[in-house]
Structure 1
Amino acid sequence: MSNTNINIRIEESTKRDFESVCKELGMSVTTAFTIFAKKVCREGRIPFDVSIDPFYSSENMDHLRRSVSALDSGNGLDRGLLDDDE
C-alpha cells in the first residue's frame, strides 16, 4: 500500500498544541490523523459530535454583554468564582 500526502492549513498555536498532545499520547500527528481518517471511513461519519456550543448563542452573548455593562456601570452584583468547598 502506498502513502500519499495531505496538506491542511491550521493556526500555528493549534498545530503546536496538537503536536504536544500527540507527543504526550506517544504518537505522531500523522498517526493521529490516520486514526481519525480510518475511523471516519469505517463508520461513515465524523466520530464525534460537531455542534455549536450553546454558550455562544446570540441570546447568551446578549445576556453576557448586559451583565458586563451592568457591572461596569456599578449596577450589577459581582459574585466572583465559587470555591469547591462552598
Structure 2
Amino acid sequence: MKKIIFMALTAGVFAFTSCSSDDDGGSSSDCQTCSLDFGDMSISSEFCDNGDGTITQIDEDGGETIVDLEGMSFQEYITAMEQTGMNCK
C-alpha cells in the first residue's frame, strides 16, 4: 500500500513539473526605449524583441502593438528607428 501511495505522489509531482522549454517566452529582456523630441515635447515607446520575428511596441499610454519585422533583425529595426531621428537606449 505504501508503494502505491508513493508511486501516486511521485507521478503527481512529475505531472505538475514543467521544463524550461515549455515556459512561455513572453518576457524578453531585449528591450529598447526610443524617444523623439519635438522642441519641448517628447514621445517615447519601448520596443521589445519577442524572439519570433516580431516585436512588441509599448506606448507611453500603455498601449501595445505587435510589429512583424518582415525578415529584419531587432537591431536592424532599432537602427532604422534611430535613422528616422529617434534616440534609442
Give TM-score, length-normalised by structure 1.
Answer: 0.25
Give TM-score, length-normalised by structure 2.
Answer: 0.25
- RCO higher in structure (CA 8 A, sep ≥6): 2
Would you tell me which structure has more strand in proportion to its own residues?
Answer: 2
